[in-house]
Amino acid sequence: MALPSRVARDRLDLLDPHEVSGLGGIELVAEGVVEGFLSGLHRSPYRGFSVEFAEHRPYQPGDELRYLDWKVVGRRDRLYVKQYEEETNLRATIVLDVSRSMAWSGDPERRLSKFDYATRLAAALALVLLRQRDATGLIGFDDEVRCAIAPRARPGQWHLLVRALLDLAPGGGTAAEQALGRVTGLLRRRGLVVFISDLLVDRDLVLLALRYLRHRGHQVVVFHVMDPGELDLDAAGEARFVDPETGEGVVASPRDLRRDYRATVERVVTAWRRSLRTGGIAYHHVSTATPFGHALRRAAEGRARLG
């Protein structure tokens, strides 16, 4: 699909996410964003430590002949080499919150929902990692784990991840600690964990799970996704505020609550940032108006500091 001429001249990673998402589906958006994004995020500090066989790949000029798999060559009449884990920069898992609260948008005509923003960010991040030959997997969760794809760097992994993202939909409550617990089984060696959520979770349990992953040697990056409408209440008339996951509500005037609400949000964001960074975990607060490229750069910078 050809992009409009004006957009083709622009860097999609720096444009408004809602505008970019109007160009097409998750796959097209992610590819366009990544094309505009600075490639080559890092060099793996773990290269060469592991010698565990991972999979086969076609022979490339310069490969050592001792890694040729002659049995596969005999069956396929083409040269294949054994690829070992040392050839993969790292193993990464993206843990994505798809709970009911992620479906919310304060202005659907101008802003993506948190879910739509998060899935596109996850797709773009996965594509960046895979183009670096980083094995990349995905866990999607609400009140239970909805999908769990093991990290791989093989051909077809990108399309597998995209299909999984397309199959996800905002669901029930939030049980992030269960999903984070699954990461340990998928990342048997040190790797990268990217947690994308609006953090409307059991804070103590999630902090414990994230700190445990860091203790195991994983680099952990958290994206705290919020809608601009969650950051500051509009000074409108009386309104009913409803918890999207429990259905409980209360009637109040935003004008009366605005100052206290803003202070509360700032305290929550500050508490998350302090608690995570104290534990060596990169924390990034992004709104659904944040260009995808800015979010990707924060992930790269955070990982470089923790590496």
CATH number at residue 142: 3.40.50.410
The domain in which residue 63 lies consists of 53-86
Per-residue DSSP letter, 3 = P
Q: Which residues of 242-277 are buried (b: 16+ CB within 10 A; e: fewer)?
A: eeebeeeeeeeebeeeeeebeeeeeeebeebbebbe
The residue out of 31, 64, 86 marking a domain boundary is 86
CA–CA separation, 162 and 276 (whole Å): 29
Residue 208 domain flag: yes
Residue 97 lies in a domain: yes
- What gap in Å lies between CA 174 and CA 97, rounded to an integer? 8
- The tens digit of pLDDT for each residue in 224-276 reads 999 998 887 765 556 666 666 666 767 666 666 778 888 889 999 999 999 99
| Residue 14 shares a structural domain with residue 81 | no
The answer to the question of residue 283 being in a domain is: yes
90-141: per-residue pLDDT in tens? Answer: 889 999 999 999 999 989 999 999 999 999 999 999 999 998 888 999 999 9
149 and 59 inside one domain = no
**What is the tally of structural domains in the chain?**
2
- Do 106 and 29 share a domain, yes or no? yes
Q: Which residue has the tokens 């005999």?
A: 74
Pairwise CA distance, residues 102 & 110, whole Å: 16
Residue 48 belongs to some domain of the structure: no
Q: What share of the chain is helix, strand, coil (3-state, %, to 5)?
A: 45, 20, 35
Structure tokens belonging to residue 177: 């600690």
